């Protein structure tokens, strides 16, 4: 659906070239939600803007549905952009138009002139985002969350196959954020829409994304399935982003625990069905060992239940293999930390 | 002051002249200044039609016209005015110099108003596949409408006061009356009345302009 190959972007600032993006590669499958996370200034905004050529990359290819945007004649660009909806952090609605007129705007740009066709589509979209009562209001009357709903409806007007979301929830309060995320997930499922979103919040990635790329100083430093990156982060930036989300997997956090612990330390990670198994008590039954849980999170990444526990083995002597075998059989991933 | 000597019919005619001069000059000013302002804005740095050379030339012309004192402009314009409409005096003769003075002024105001439009809106339009024409007509100008109307109000008031100056070279209107009667014939009462009429006119314009702006501001 989307493939980015060897993409770089360099700016000239006072004659000096500044690399905003360096050698970016990734691909997004149809119907997938792909998240790019990074701190501000990491280049994620530039990255999402290259996907519809609001930023022209200095190098590399941007393939959307198999077509390379960077070699497309400029006249064909508007038509292609209509296949990609985009929502913005600050909504960017037209203040001088009503909600219905805002949503109708991209339809008119795409050459839909029949009043009935426009009205029908606008009504459909208003219903989809739950704003049918605000048809003739002006944006100034709406709350942030409602404005973003209009932004989403507008982005969907021409039935795009891809939705780009530029920090769509960053200007919203936590509760509104949840409802917007839910809406994005809904339309992803209902319409089979491919979504690429950028954010600086791990919680957004966890709630929504299938795949994630972590970007730092213009480079992708880590990427993969959200569950993998989330549970086994390898890059310090990923780890610190996770720490802000309440998951401390950093080495410094561990060393303190290591000093207090008397037995070996194990980190157990279970994803999916394994989460529902009483693995620890079974291990106790089979080996006679006891477990002291030092740290742990159990939750859901999108729809996948997961758990990660840091346990200290009590009463352990000698060989670890029998207990590790129990975990392996239960599909629990383990790491021996000390 | 002998209030009985006041030539009321002449004052009435002068008021009408001022209104005609200002209003017709305003129409041409907007017709000329609006596209000029849009072009100034669009050719500017990091804008849709960034054109350094064009922007520099337009800016120079605008600055030049705005820096010439209006009374001097009135005089150096005389040949051009005569060529354009056949005379350089009277109500008609005052209109070309008024337009040439006010259009660059309005163009600068337009440029500033357009700069105030959130760039994110332009970006959103581009992302929706709008071309430059669609962005200008569909987003930039409608979004800037209240500001553009406020700028028209400011320009209209400037035109009323410029038009009074046109009286100095026989342009007709309230300014002409004030100079002829108040200054040359020592009739300060006429001058007081013309000034009061001008104050009233300006007030009226400002109130009307404010209302219009409010009407088109979407809360």
Q: Is the ipTM of this complex over 0.90?
A: no
pTM of the model: 0.85
Return the CATH number at A281. 3.30.70.260
Closest CB from A81, A92, A95 relative to B218 = A95
- Tell me, yes or no, whether A316 lies in a domain: yes
A195 shares a domain with A163: yes
pLDDT at B7 (0 to 100): 78
CA distance A141 to B218: 9
pLDDT at B166 (0 to 100): 82
pLDDT at B158 (0 to 100): 94
pLDDT at A293 (0 to 100): 86
Q: Using the 8-state DSSP alphabet, how is residue B108 labeled?
A: H
> A86: nearest CA in chain B?
B127
* pLDDT tens string A137-182: 999 999 999 999 999 999 999 999 999 999 999 999 989 999 999 9
- Tell me, yes or no, whether A260 lies in a domain: yes
Chain B residues whose CB is inside 8 A of the A78 CB are 129-131
A101 shares a domain with A10: yes
> Is A26 touching B (CB cutoff 8 A)?
no
- Tell me, yes or no, whether A239 lies in a domain: no
What radius of gyration, in Å, describes the C-alpha atoms of chain B? 20
A247 vs A22, residue with greater confidence = A22
> B140: nearest CA in chain A?
A94
> Is B128 touching A (CB cutoff 8 A)?
yes
Contact between A57 and A35 under an 8 Å Cβ cutoff? The reply is no
Cα B112–chain centre separation:
15
Strand order in the sheet with A2-13: A16-28, A2-13, A59-64, A67-68
A206 shares a domain with A128: yes
Chain B residues whose CB is inside 8 A of the A170 CB are none
pLDDT at B98 (0 to 100): 93
A269 shares a domain with A202: no
Phi and psi of A307, rounded to 5°? -150, 150
Q: What domains can be seen in chain B, in order of their start residue? A: 3-215 (1.10.3720.10)
- Tell me, yes or no, whether A243 lies in a domain: no
A187 shares a domain with A292: no
Cα A105 to Cα A96, B75, B84, B135, distances in angstroms = 12, 50, 43, 11
Closest CB from A52, A78, A96 relative to B145 = A96
Please count the residue pairs, one from chain A and one from chain B, whose beta carbons lie less than 8 angstroms apart.
64
Question: Structural domain tally of chain A?
Answer: 2
Chain A residues whose CB is inside 8 A of the B145 CB are 96
- Tell me, yes or no, whether A240 lies in a domain: no
* pLDDT tens string A9-30: 998 888 888 899 999 999 999 9
Each residue's pLDDT expressed in tens, for chain B with a length of 219 residues: 556 667 788 888 888 989 999 999 999 999 999 999 999 999 998 888 889 999 999 999 999 999 999 888 888 888 988 898 888 788 888 899 999 999 999 999 999 999 999 999 999 999 999 999 999 999 999 999 999 999 999 999 999 988 888 877 777 788 888 888 877 888 888 888 888 998 999 999 999 999 999 999 887
Q: How many CA atoms lie within 13 A of B171 on its CB side?
A: 33
- Tell me, yes or no, whether A35 lies in a domain: yes
Give the range of the structural domain holding residue A215, as residue numbers without chain letter. 2-234
CA distance B24 to B177: 20
* pLDDT tens string A214-239: 999 999 999 999 988 988 888 999 98
> Is A296's pLDDT higher than 90?
no
A284 shares a domain with A217: no
- Tell me, yes or no, whether A32 lies in a domain: yes
CA distance B74 to B8: 28
């Amino acid at each position: 659906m989307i493939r980015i190959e060897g993409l770089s972007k360099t700016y000239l600032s006072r004659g000096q070239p500044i690399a905003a993006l360096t050698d970016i590669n990734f691909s997004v499958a149809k119907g997938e939600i792909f998240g790019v996370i990074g701190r501000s200034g990491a280049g994620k905004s530039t990255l999402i803007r290259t996907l519809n050529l609001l930023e022209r990359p200095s190098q590399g290819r941007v393939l959307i549905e198999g077509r390379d945007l960077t070699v497309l004649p400029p006249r064909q660009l508007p038509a292609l952009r209509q296949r990609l909806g985009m929502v913005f952090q600050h909504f960017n609605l037209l203040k001088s138009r009503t909600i219905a007129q805002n949503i109708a705007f991209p339809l008119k740009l795409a050459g839909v002139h029949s009043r009935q066709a426009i009205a029908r589509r606008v009504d459909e979209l208003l219903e989809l985002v739950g704003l049918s009562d605000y048809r003739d209001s002006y944006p100034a009357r709406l709350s942030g969350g409602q404005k973003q709903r209009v932004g989403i409806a507008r982005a969907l007007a021409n039935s795009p196959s891809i939705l780009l979301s530029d920090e769509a929830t960053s200007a919203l309060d936590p509760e509104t954020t949840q409802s917007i995320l839910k809406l994005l997930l809904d339309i992803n499922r209902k319409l089979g829409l491919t979504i690429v979103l950028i954010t600086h919040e791990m919680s957004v990635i966890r709630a929504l994304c299938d795949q994630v790329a972590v970007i730092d100083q213009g480079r992708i430093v880590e990427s993969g399935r959200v569950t993998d990156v989330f549970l086994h982060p390898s890059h310090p930036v990923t780890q610190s982003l996770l720490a802000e989300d309440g998951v401390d997997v950093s080495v410094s956090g561990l060393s303190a625990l290591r000093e207090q612990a008397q037995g070996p330390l194990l980190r157990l990670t279970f994803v999916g069905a394994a989460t529902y198994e009483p693995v620890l008590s079974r291990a106790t039954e089979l080996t006679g060992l006891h477990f002291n849980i030092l740290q742990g999170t159990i939750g859901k990444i999108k729809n996948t239940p997961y758990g990660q526990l840091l346990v200290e083995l009590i009463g352990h002597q000698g060989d670890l293999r029998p207990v590790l075998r129990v975990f392996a059989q239960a599909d629990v991933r383990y790491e021996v930390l000390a | 002051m002998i209030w009985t000597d006041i030539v009321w019919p002449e004052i009435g005619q002068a008021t009408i002249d001022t209104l005609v001069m200002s209003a017709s000059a305003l129409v041409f000013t907007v017709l000329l200044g609006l596209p000029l302002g849009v072009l100034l804005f669009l050719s500017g740095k990091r804008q849709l039609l960034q054109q350094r050379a064009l922007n520099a030339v337009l800016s120079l012309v605008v600055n030049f016209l705005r820096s010439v004192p209006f009374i001097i402009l009135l005089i150096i314009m005389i040949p051009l005015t005569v060529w354009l409409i056949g005379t350089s005096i009277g109500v008609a003769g005052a209109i070309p110099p008024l337009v040439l003075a006010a259009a660059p002024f309005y163009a600068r105001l337009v440029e500033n108003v357009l700069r105030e439009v959130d760039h994110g809106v332009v970006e959103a339009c581009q992302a929706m596949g709008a071309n430059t024409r669609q962005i200008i007509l569909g987003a930039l100008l409608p979004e800037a409408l209240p500001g553009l109307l406020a700028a028209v109000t400011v320009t209209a008031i400037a035109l009323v006061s410029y038009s009074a100056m046109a009286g100095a070279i026989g342009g007709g209107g309230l300014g002409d009356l004030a100079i002829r009667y108040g200054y040359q014939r020592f009739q300060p009462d006429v001058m007081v009345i013309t000034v009061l009429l001008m104050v009233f006119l300006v007030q009226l314009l400002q109130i009307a302009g404010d209302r219009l702006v409010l009407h088109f501001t979407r809360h």
